[in-house]
A and B are shown apart, each in its own frame.
Chain A
Amino acid sequence: MAAQRGGDDPVSEYLQQNPHLAGWVDSLRGFCETSKQWSARREFILRNMEGQGVPAAQPGAHSPSLDSLLSLSMVWANHVFLGCSYPPSVMDKIKEMGEGIAVQDAPTHKTTKAKGKRSAGTEGESDSYVKRNKGGTNDLEARSSGRTAVRPSSQKSAPPPQAPAEHQPFFNRLYKAVAWKLVSAGGFGPNLDHFEVLRSCVESCKQTLTCVFVPLKDITGLPAVRAQKEGHVCELRCLTVYMGTGYGRDESAARAMASKEALKVFQGRKVTVKICRRRFRGRDVDDLMLLDEQPRSQGFPPALSYPFQEEQLEGGSPQRSTV
């Protein structure tokens, strides 16, 4: 049990000081809970006891407020360890309550949209962008999913100046992969599954594509004509480098459009990673962008996510489609 791990863990220390709590809280452990899961959930319970007005009582005594706390602790644990998701109001609540609890390498589960029976062909579609902890998307994911996993500490509010040079070789490889893929698919055209093409190419280069979705109505500062209520916007990044943005009626349509935009960049003679200025939440920021050689007539669309940001800057972070 985690309590024996020694005094360096603040929770065990706390329990050693309050032995009456230790016995009580351990009576709440589930039979099938692993030590790791339990120590995390125990921390969740202890941290939120007061906030929920739960009196520490004798083992076996149960009150509605305790049950409600237990339930929320299970929601949190199910989310972190099993990969379950709950209605937004519940998720918001546990995100808040679970803030600050560190879980060492939580298992990764995909809520791969289980395609209807026997249509295995589409399975591969959605699992690529839910793979976690790859590339530079860690922090972004952790935030949006309420996971409080360890975050990289070296966060700056701008991409490091050497980043373009670091990423350039990868995108050169990707450029080739895309070129071959498009040749084999009969060339760039409207009938391709653009996302699939891009995804498979990125994966064949051993990286993952990150999609960020934002409902259109959540984007402020759009021209009045565009301010439709429905629809989603999708932004694609790979290795934190921005690749494209697209709009669609639903998330997959948005994603397809973003992929198409991204693939357009690959139609030139080469692709280059550059640091450019663009808008993000009403501010000008420096972002890593993937560009072709053509001179751009317009500016860039505003960024939907910004992976190089200080923590305190963010408010609500964009919803990722699948967590």
Chain B
Amino acid sequence: MGVPAFFRWLSRKYPSIIVHCVEEKGKECNGVRIPVDTTKPNPNEVEFDNLYLDMNGIIHPCTHPEDKPAPKNEDEMMVAIFEYIDRLFNIVRPRRVLYMAIDGVAPRAKMNQQRSRRFRASKEGVELVDEKQRMREEIIQRGGYLPPEEIKERFDSNCITPGTEFMDNLAHCLRYYVAERLSNDPGWKNVVVFLSDASVPGEGEHKIMDFIRRQRAQPNHDPNTHHCLCGADADLIMLGLATHEPNFTIIREEFKPNKPRPCSLCGQTGHEMKDCQGVAREKQGQHDEFADTMPVSEQEFIFIRLCVLREYLERELTMASLPFPFDFERSVDDWVFMCFFVGNDFLPHLPSLEIREGAIDRLVNIYKDVVHKTGGYLTQNGYVNLERVEMIMQAVGVAEDNIFKKRKEDEENFRRRNKEKRKRMKVEQQGPAYLTTGQFAPQALGRRDVPEPIQNARHQAYDMRMNPREQNNKNAAQSLKAMLRNEGSSSSGANESQDRRAPKRKAEDSDSDPEPEDNVRLWEDGWKQRYYKNKFDVDVTDSDFRKKVVQSYVEGLCWVLRYYYQGCASWKWYFPFHYAPFASDFKDIKEMFTEFEKDTMPFKPLEQLMSVFPAASGNFLPPTWRNLMVSPESSIIDFYPDDFAIDLNGKKYAWQGVALLPFVDERRLRAALAEVYPDLTPEEARRNSLGSDVLFVGKSHPLYDFIHELYRDECNKGTVVPPELCFGIQGLLNLDNNPVLPDKPVKSPIPTLRDISQSTAVSVKFKDPEFAVGYVFKAVLLPGAKIPTKVLKPGDWERGNRGPWRPQLGFNPNRQQAHLDQSGFRALGHSLNRNQQGGGQYSNTPPPGTYHQGSYRPQHAGGHRGFQHSRPNPQLGASQPYQQPQFSRHQQQPPQYSGGGHGWNRVVQSQPSAYQQNANRDRGGPRHAGYQQPHDHWQDRQDDRRGNRGQPQQGYGSSRSYPPPPPSRRWN
């Protein structure tokens, strides 16, 4: 979904949905890599049945990564993709199905977004190159140093679009990859692999949904299948909820904000291109030994447990005293529907609903009201009740005025706060103007060297006064003098002296960020009129036009919901405007939508390329087709502007704005293409045709012999999969023209990888089960589905007198807690005591109350209550008595000892081991109010470890009893 904020909002509001992945890494022994045995139980203590990969979320980071050097050629990209899939496979370890779906031709509704992205990518690419060139010249003129420009073809990410040669190659490579793994990797041997490449129409995630939906609707489906879907898009969460499968988990890369990116000019991190100075690279490590190591850690993965989200939603949506029994499943569907209002890939979001401003909470409140009033839900099985939607919209419409005013207010507050913060930071960075030096120099608490007693204090003080080397102090004194002088002169009025201080300060005040001009000014009266005038170029009185916009939007809402619950209702429909109407414009919408056009067909791959590519990407198309994009005689030249306006629409960055691109006229496109169709080579015609999903199985799979038999019989009819052979999965099998066959070699399409001399896999075309034309897929829990055990703390837990609540941190509610037994403690104590001669002068004293922002409260009575960085958590102290020699690795914060056992902490701190990662990872549990927090801690540890690399014996916590200082102090 085009709402980057959605996931952040969700994970903050419902923190327990996130579980950090435990990943077993491959080991290396004498230079030989030992792969992980994925037949072993999943270290996440859960077994998944099906793993679905939305491949575009994998292809993009693998082909043009943002945090590491880009692969040099296509082969390296493919290998990167394979490795990425391997990694996911190792984490998830599916036992039944691996489904790989690459985006195929998308519905028209989506194509407009794709078009806008590709046109922008192309425009940005050109501008980046220009900008780079300009900066380069400037820096070199100033005498800066820049590494020579690499002569490298820029990877045009636009080629990740169905129909290009790249996508064709990718499909080819993935076939090889699957055959290779099925033949050689024991973890894959019982897995059925589906590959839906770019030649199969539909967006990747929706092809996956279609698969799940159709499997659910057939009688052999196992209602307790555990699905795991990989992808970062927020709409996967919606899609997962829309399936109504009780066990549905999403895996995605952990979102890390503000990761450092190397400057694209000099390749160093720490600044952006526009600030590049062209200074020589700093040595990494003493002898530049870390030159090629990226300072960023490898991306971690997280699970998003939709069953936990369902628990949260149940709490939030349940309505008491309804005139009819409350149906949670229906209300989930309504919730999903309301999330579309704040943004989706197919419609621009309503101006008044902004996810950051709590739009969804607002909608939920209104929704409950509406359900009470009308006695029914908004949607059923993906069909919308427009009358009830209108009530919701009207309720939002009433508040619209205030929302806009409040938005402006918040924005101004935010800007003011930011400015103040900047000011504060500046003062902090400057540090004190005067510092005592020598013996009197301030010393950090808890450092190893014990301060000496002061000797000859008078002499030292004299030194400090007189020593000319203390430049800082001298400056401080001078500026003080200057200030005094200035005061004197300003009174006399003639401030002719070129004192730079005063005007400079003034300039800083005035140069607040240039704000983009906003003509609409939604916060002022007359906003509606201005909005329609500015955005649509019509008068507010033109109600026909307004109605048209609203009608299209209503159609859009119906289309999107249907798309999520029933599949693509119309390949043709799209929202033909660049902006959304206001909520208050939704009047009399009940009659606005009846049905979509039936039997629409998706575009062919090359047709889609013609409608989403700018002329600059024309090289992916045959010459005569390309010519239609540039020639003044072309009858579709209007689709291909070489530059276009971007309306920031109140946003700050160009990429958030609206690209004002013309829409494609399908009729004219087809007419123009009809003339160049004969120019396609057979190869291009093949790429332009629609393909089919392919199913692969390995030798030991029960379906293997069945398929093998089909090939021997050369059975040309479609054959139904016998469900008992394949975990109840159904579908139609057709012989593949170019199959992977048992005991036949498979040639490697990548020079660096070996051919498979004897493949033991077999592939066959697969088609999802078909249903009758008017069939409606039911959005309900299936009979026999078992709801997983609850994770959230029941609201009445305290009353139940059941002892302290133990939050569940992973998948397994009865997780074995790790602990050290007595011998372990003996060993620790033994090795630690030896190194602890000094013991740290403060180790037996509690830190002063001001340390750590005062969140530490000395608890002498118990003596063993841990304190935390973030916030007091009374439960922790109560439920985890630390006297016990039992240490859970689930504890949020390593316990702090004020007594004898302070060694434990130290070991954790200084051990760069997997153990530590686990300890960290497990902390993302329900106790965390915010999802961000684990990052900070994690980062914290990362830094520690880096610091420890050189001198492993001096961990931060080695001789102290409180945690390391926040990393910012040390590393900035």
Residues of A within 8 A of B (CB): 30-32, 34-37, 62, 64, 67-68, 70-72, 74-75, 78, 81-87, 89-90, 93, 107, 109-124, 127, 180, 183-186, 250, 252-253
Give B490-515 as 1s and 0s: 1 = Cβ < 8 Å from A's Cβ atoms.
00000000001001101100000110
Contact between chains at A31 and B548 (CB < 8 Å): yes
Tell me if B139 counts as interface (CB < 8 A to partner A). no
Q: How far is the CA of A127 from the CA of B519 in the complex (A)?
A: 14
CB-CB under 8 A from B517, the residues of chain A are 127
Out of B632, B668, B672, which one reaches A89, CB within 8 Å? Answer: B632
Query: Are B537 and A34 within 8 A (Cβ)?
Result: yes
**Residue in B274, B548, B638, B645 whose beta carbon sits within 8 Å of that of A122 in the complex:** B274
Residue pair B638, A85 in contact (C-beta under 8 Å): no
- A119-B272 contact in complex given A81-B537, A84-B644, C-beta closer than 8 Å: yes
Sample of 11 more A-B contacts, CB < 8 Å, known A32-B577, A35-B542: A34-B538, A34-B542, A62-B667, A82-B661, A84-B644, A87-B642, A93-B632, A112-B646, A114-B120, A116-B273, A120-B652
Nearest Cβ on chain A to B481's Cβ, whole angstroms: 22
Q: Which residue of B lies closest to A85 (CB)?
A: B643
Q: Could you mark each residue 253-297 of chain B with 1 if its beta carbon is under 8 Å from any beta carbon of chain A, else 0?
A: 000000000000000000011100000000000000000000000
Shortest Cβ distance from residue B215 to the other chain A in the assembled complex, whole angstroms:
38
Is the C-beta of B671 less than 8 angstroms from some C-beta in chain A?
Answer: yes
- With A67-B668, A119-B274 known to touch, is A184 a contact of B504 (CB < 8 Å)? yes
B638 nearest CB neighbor, chain A only: A74
B504, B632, B647: the one contacting A109 at CB < 8 Å is B647
The answer to the question of B516 belonging to the interface, with a C-beta cut-off of 8 Å to chain A, is yes
Q: Whole-angstrom distance between the alpha carbons of A79 and B236 in the complex?
A: 38
Per the bound structure, the CA–CA distance linking A73 and B548 in Å amounts to 23
Q: How far is the CA of A68 from the CA of B631 in the complex (A)?
A: 11
- Chain B residues with Cβ below 8 Å from A116 are 124, 127-128, 131, 273
- 5 nearest A-B pairs in the assembled complex, by CB-CB distance: A109-B645, A114-B654, A84-B641, A74-B638, A184-B507
Q: Are B635 and A71 in contact, with the CB atoms below 8 A?
A: yes
Q: Is the CB–CB distance between A68 and B660 below 8 Å?
A: no
**A87/B646 in contact, CB under 8 A:** no
Cα of A83 to Cα of B642 in the assembled complex, Å? 11
With A75-B637, A252-B134 in contact, do A83 and B274 touch (Cβ < 8 Å)? no
Query: Are A124 and B537 in contact, with the CB atoms below 8 A?
Result: no
**Nearest B residue to A116, CB-CB:** B128
Tell whether A111 pairs with B645 under 8 Å between CB atoms, given A67-B635, A84-B662: yes
Within 776-810 of B, Cβ neighbours of A (below 8 Å) are at: none
CB of A49, distance to nearest CB on chain B (Å): 15
**In the complex, chain B residues whose CB is within 8 Å of the CB of A118:** 272, 653
Residues from chain B with a CB closer than 8 A to the CB of A68 are 633-635
Minimum distance in angstroms from A83 CB to a CB of chain B: 4
Contact status B507-A120, CB under 8 Å:
no
Count chain B CB atoms within 10 A of each CB in A31, A64, A119 and give the residue with the most.
A119
Query: Of all chain B residues, which has the CB nearest A92?
Result: B632
CB pair B655–A114 under 8 Å, yes or no, is: yes
Q: Mark B42-56, 1 if CB is under 8 A from A, else 0.
A: 000000000000000
B630 interface neighbour in A64, A75, A85, A87, Cβ under 8 Å: A87
Give the residues in chain A near B534, CB-CB below 8 Å: 107
A116 to B130, CA, bound (A): 11
> Contact between B645 and A110 (Cβ–Cβ < 8 Å)?
yes
**How many chain B residues touch A (Cβ–Cβ < 8 Å)?**
61
**In the docked arrangement, what's the CA distance between A116 and B421, Å?**
27
Specify which chain A residues have a CB less than 8 angstroms from the CB of B250 in the assembled complex. none
Contacting residues, chain B, for A186 (C-beta < 8 A)? 500
Interface residues of B (CB under 8 A from A): 120, 123-124, 127-128, 131, 134, 272-274, 500, 503-504, 506-507, 513-514, 516-517, 534, 536-538, 542, 545, 548, 552, 576-577, 615, 630, 632-638, 640-647, 652-655, 657, 660-663, 665, 667-668, 671-672, 675
Contacts of B630 in A (CB 8 A): 87
Q: Give the docked Cα–Cα distance between A111 and B632 (Å).
A: 22
Q: Are B127 and A113 in contact (CB under 8 A)?
A: yes
- Measured between alpha carbons, how far is A302 from B643 in the docked complex, in Å? 31
Given A86-B637, A115-B131, does the pair A120, B653 have CB atoms closer than 8 Å? yes
Is the CB–CB distance between A34 and B536 below 8 Å?
yes
Contacts of A74 in B (CB 8 A): 638, 662, 665
Complex CA–CA separation, A128 to B661 (angstroms): 22
Contacting residue for A250 out of B134, B513, B655, CB 8 A: B134
Give the residue among B503, B504, B506, B635 with the most A Cβ atoms within 10 A. Answer: B635
**Chain A residues positioned under 8 Å from B642 (CB to CB):** 85-87
Q: Bound state CA distance, A78 and B514, in angstroms?
A: 29
Whether A37 contacts B671 in the complex (CB less than 8 A), given A31-B548, A84-B644, A112-B646, comes out as: no
Q: How far is the CA of A87 from the CA of B647 in the complex (A)?
A: 21
Q: Which of B545, B633, B641 contacts A86 (CB 8 A)?
A: B641
Q: Which residues of A contact B668 (CB under 8 A)?
A: 67, 70-71
Q: Which residues in A have their C-beta under 8 angstroms from that of B652?
A: 120
B residues less than 8 Å from A89 (CB atoms)? 632
B660 & A82 in contact (Cβ 8 Å cutoff)? yes
Contact in complex: A82, B662 (CB < 8 Å)? yes
Residue of A nearest to B654 (CB): A114
For the complex, give the distance between the alpha carbons of A139 and B314 in Å: 64
Contacts of B653 in A (CB 8 A): 117-118, 120
Contact of B640 among A64, A86, A183, A250 (CB under 8 A): A86
* Nearest-neighbor residue (CB-CB) of A1 within chain B: B544
Q: Which residues of A are found within 8 Å of B274, using beta-carbon distances? A: 119, 121-122
CA distance in complex: A253, B134 (Å): 9
CB pair B516–A123 under 8 Å, yes or no, is yes
Question: A36 — nearest CB in chain B belongs to which residue?
Answer: B537
Interface contact B654-A36, CB-CB below 8 Å: no
A-B contact pairs, 16 of them (CB 8 A): A31-B576, A35-B545, A36-B538, A37-B537, A67-B668, A67-B671, A67-B672, A68-B634, A71-B668, A82-B660, A84-B643, A85-B644, A86-B640, A119-B274, A123-B654, A127-B517
Q: Which residues of B contact A124 (CB under 8 A)?
A: 514
Q: How far is the CA of A121 from the CA of B514 in the complex (A)?
A: 8
A125 to B635, CA, bound (A): 36
Closest to A105 in B: B537
Which of B534, B632, B643, B652 is packed against the most chain A CB atoms within 10 Å? B632
- Asked whether, in the complex, the Cβ of A64 is within 8 Å of the Cβ of B638, the reply is no
Contact indicator B548/A112 (Cβ below 8 Å): no
A78 touches B662 (CB 8 A): yes
Give the docked Cα–Cα distance between A80 and B900 (Å).
Answer: 79
B462 to chain A, nearest CB (A): 39
Cβ distance B253 to chain A, nearest Cβ, rounded Å: 19
